């Protein structure tokens, strides 16, 4: 059981997926060119052939009203590390922070950012998304997506933005990050089954996209774009999947 958990946890941490180029050099996936999303099938067949791929476009008129229980968030202020992993700014979380969904506990492993948002609402991307990646004792994954739109400066992001490393591979420690402060007051959500949005695009991931976006300031957005912009995988076909809403 421990090996299964470690396997899925490593995938959730955006560990670089590689393949061997014709010259014998190792190639890493990216968001553009011949290693961009259209070619991710070269790194993992699931990216090209999977039937439950993420992200998706959520058409609000097609959302089915479901008998969905509230997500129980058990986050607090904690010490952590922030890493520039070459694909995203990633905040690694120590043990003890978790959510409860349908009576099942999923431990928070990390969260990271994409800009613009990967998820679309009625065909439109928002300015950014934070994806909070969790795993249960069986190694099954659940992702909570927090959408951001330009507006007032976001104090919850301030410590992350102040410390986020500019150089790929660098990691810095932060004494305290209030993860709960990243969440909107209204925690209603959309739910569907999907996948990781980066190679290896593993499926059977439970997705919970919070309906209410939170704000991010223009200066905060500009600073993030100085490191990463256009880091969103294109939306994928639903293939008969149903999106339910709380």
Query: Per residue in 24-44, pLDDT tens?
Result: 556 799 999 999 999 999 999
Band (pLDDT 50/70/90 cuts) for residue 179 is: very high
Q: What does 115-158 look like in DSSP terms, one character per residue? A: SS-SSEETTEE-SEEEEEEEE-TTS-EEEEEEEEEEES--GGGH
Tokens coding 180: 């709960």
Q: How far is CA 149 from CA 14, 61, 123, 152, 214, in A?
A: 24, 22, 15, 9, 6
Q: Which residue has the higher pLDDT, 10 or 88?
A: 88
Beta carbons of 205 and 193 less than 8 angstroms apart: yes
Chain-centre distance for alpha carbon 153:
21
80-129: per-residue pLDDT in tens? 999 999 999 999 999 999 999 999 999 999 999 999 999 999 999 999 99
| CA-closest candidate to residue 184, choices 209, 143, 212 | 212
Please determine, for residue 143, whether its predicted confidence score (pLDDT) is greater than 50.
yes
Residue bearing tokens 């009576």: 103
Could you tell me if residue 241 is inside a domain? no
Mean pLDDT of 131-141: 97
Q: Which residue has the higher pLDDT, 150 or 67?
A: 150
Mean pLDDT of 163-186: 94
Residues identified as active-site: 87
CATH number, domain of 135, equals 3.10.200.10
Band (pLDDT 50/70/90 cuts) for residue 190 is: very high
Could you tell me if residue 7 is inside a domain? yes
Residue 1: exposure state from Cβ atoms within 10 A (0-12, 13-18, ≥19): exposed
41-59: per-residue pLDDT in tens? 999 999 999 999 999 999 9
Could you tell me if residue 187 is inside a domain? yes
Could you tell me if residue 238 is inside a domain? no
pLDDT, position 176: 85
Domain count, the chain: 1
191-246: per-residue pLDDT in tens? 999 999 999 999 999 999 999 999 999 999 999 999 999 999 999 999 999 999 99
Q: What is the DSSP letter of 188?
A: -
Could you tell me if residue 222 is inside a domain? yes
Q: How far is CA 156 from CA 67, 152, 187, in A?
A: 31, 12, 16
Beta carbons of 239 and 174 less than 8 angstroms apart: no
Which of 2-6, 179-183, 225-229 is predicted with the least confidence, judged by mean pLDDT? 2-6
pLDDT, position 66: 85
Beta carbons of 78 and 174 less than 8 angstroms apart: no
Tell me the residue length of the chain.
Answer: 246
> What SS3 class is residue 242?
coil
Tokens coding 52: 């439950």
Beta carbons of 130 and 105 less than 8 angstroms apart: no
pLDDT, position 11: 44
pLDDT, position 78: 82
> What SS3 class is residue 37?
helix
Could you tell me if residue 244 is inside a domain? no
Could you tell me if residue 240 is inside a domain? no
Could you tell me if residue 88 is inside a domain? yes
Q: Give the residue numbers spanning the domain of 103.
A: 2-232
- Over its C-alpha atoms, the chain yields an Rg (Å, rounded) of 17
């Amino acid at each position: 059981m421990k090996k299964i958990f470690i396997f899925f946890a490593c995938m959730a941490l955006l560990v670089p997926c590689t393949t061997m180029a014709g010259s014998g050099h190792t190639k890493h996936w990216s968001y553009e060119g011949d290693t961009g999303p259209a070619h991710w099938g070269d790194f993992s067949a699931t990216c090209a052939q999977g039937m439950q791929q993420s992200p998706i476009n959520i058409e609000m008129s097609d959302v089915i009203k479901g008998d969905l229980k509230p997500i129980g968030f058990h986050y607090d202020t904690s010490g952590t590390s922030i890493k520039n992993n070459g694909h995203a700014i990633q905040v690694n979380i120590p043990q003890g922070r978790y959510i409860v969904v349908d009576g099942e506990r999923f431990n928070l492993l990390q969260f990271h950012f994409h800009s613009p948002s990967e998820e679309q609402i009625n065909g439109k991307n928002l300015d950014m998304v934070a994806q909070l990646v969790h795993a249960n004792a069986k190694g099954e994954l659940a992702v909570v997506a927090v959408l951001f739109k330009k507006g007032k400066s976001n104090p919850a992001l301030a410590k992350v933005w102040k410390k986020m490393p500019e150089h790929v591979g660098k990691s810095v420690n932060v004494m305290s990050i209030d993860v709960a402060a990243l969440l909107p007051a209204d925690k209603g959500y959309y739910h569907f089954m999907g996948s990781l949005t980066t190679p290896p695009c593993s499926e059977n991931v439970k997705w919970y996209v919070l309906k209410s976006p939170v704000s991010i300031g223009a200066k905060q957005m500009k600073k993030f774009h100085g490191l990463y912009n256009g880091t969103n995988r294109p939306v994928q076909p639903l293939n008969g999947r149903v999106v339910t809403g709380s």
